[in-house]
Amino acid sequence: MSSLIPFWYIVIAVLWTGFFVLEGFDFGVGMLHAVVGRDEAGRRAAINTIGPLWDGNEVWLIVAGAGMFAAFPGWYATMFSAYNLALVLLLAALIVRGLAFEYRGKRDAARWRRTWDVLLTVGSVLAPLLIGVALAGLLGGLPINSDQNFTGSFWVLLKPYPLWTGVTLVLICLLHGATFLCLKTTGDMRERSWQVARRVAPFTAAFVIGFIIWTHVTAGKAFWLNLIELLAILAVLTAVWQVYDHHEGFAFAATAVTIASCIITIFADLYPNVMVSSTNPAYNLTVHNTASGGYSLKVMTVVVIILLPVVLAYQTWTYYVFRRRVSKSEFQPPPPPPETAPEPAPQSQPTAPPAVPGS
């Protein structure tokens, strides 16, 4: 059963990567919906580009957490203890996003909708920021003792490298969402999305390159970058190129590869550790000292081999069904009916003079 341990580490990495690739543009649309949509019809159109997709995309986060709990309970216990407050903030951000999608249209009041728009934007920024800080902390090191217990506080998590990673993921999601809106909207909304993408792309590239170099140094690897790290840099540079050349499909694909390779870089450079101890390297949590028993891993492997292709097929079909572009004209109120001119009063017909007898 020892071969199932690295297999399940790969599964966890794939689940986190799938979450960010799919939910990443959801976060980006949430950040940009009030920028790209200048009026109520535009904001509704931006939100409806992800309306059928966002809740299904968040399932990947739930499955990633459940997979960690089942396959590596020691990792799950220490990580969730360390990130207790951060996870509460993350859940609050995700809950606020869901409520904003469902409730902003329940009342026809500008202040009501504006409040939910602000909450949607804030939640969409906080979620990738907090997850980026959490994932980078696994590699950057946390105070963990010999009993695999976290001994620090919330503020220990806010180190420069995790914060840089969180900001990097926010910028990638922003660019990912902008290119997604270019694919899914029309007219002036599409043009504004391209303008946002052009402005964000150089900053995203700079932060991604800095993140890759910092991650490589933190992991203590060899001088040369590995293939995944090189792929991340090439992908973000390709994204900038395609954005400036106005190739929306290739730009979206490049941002998807960028965010995927950045997440995989963290897991690849972390292995065989799952959490690095800043107290003593001997206290590192590894895939071997945190894994479940062989029978549990075997049962879960059978389940994931059967059900994961079904989930992928269903989600692919969902994206195919909702592939069309969304126009803000669909959400503009109908014009008032033209005023009809009052019908003229009927005129009385002249009567013929009475006939004169004998005429």
Q: What is the pLDDT of residue 359?
A: 44
Name all domains of the chain by residue range, CATH numbers in brackets: 12-328 (1.20.1630)
Q: List per-residue pLDDT tens for the chain, 359 residues long.
A: 578 999 999 999 999 999 999 999 999 999 999 899 888 888 899 999 998 888 888 889 999 999 999 999 999 999 999 999 999 999 999 999 999 988 888 888 888 999 999 999 999 999 999 999 999 999 999 999 999 899 988 888 889 999 999 999 999 999 999 999 999 998 899 999 999 999 999 999 999 999 999 999 998 877 788 899 999 999 999 999 999 998 999 999 999 999 999 999 999 999 999 999 999 999 999 999 999 988 889 999 999 999 889 888 988 898 888 888 888 777 777 666 666 556 666 665 555 555 555 54
Q: What is the pLDDT of residue 342?
A: 62
DSSP for 245-262, please give it.
Answer: TT-HHHHHHHHHHHHHHH
Q: Can the peptide bond before residue 272 be classed as cis, meaning omega within 30 degrees of 0? A: yes
pTM exceeds 0.75: yes
Q: What is the pLDDT of residue 353?
A: 57
| Nearest C-alpha neighbor of 323 from the set 183, 194, 142, 169 | 183
Q: Which residue reads 């390709």 in tokens?
A: 238
The helix or strand, by DSSP H or E, that contains position 126, with its residue range, turns out to be: helix 110-140
Q: Residue 340 phi/psi, 5° resolution?
A: -95, 130
Q: What is the pLDDT of residue 350?
A: 59
CB 120 within 8 A of CB 100: yes
Residue 88 vs residues 85, 127, 130, 131: alpha-carbon distances, Å: 5, 11, 10, 12
Token readout for 126 is 């906080």
Token readout for 36 is 């790209």
| Widest distance between CA atoms in the chain | 137
Spatial distance between the Cα atoms of 189 and 33, rounded to a whole number of angstroms: 10
**Residues recorded for the chain:** 359
Residue 83 vs residues 130, 183, 217: alpha-carbon distances, Å: 10, 36, 24
Q: How far apart are the first and last CA of the chain?
A: 127
Q: What is the pLDDT of residue 221?
A: 77
Token readout for 146 is 């010999």
Spatial distance between the Cα atoms of 297 and 71, rounded to a whole number of angstroms: 6
Q: What is the pLDDT of residue 211?
A: 96
Range 70-79 burial, b when 16+ CB lie within 10 A, else e = bbbebbbbbb
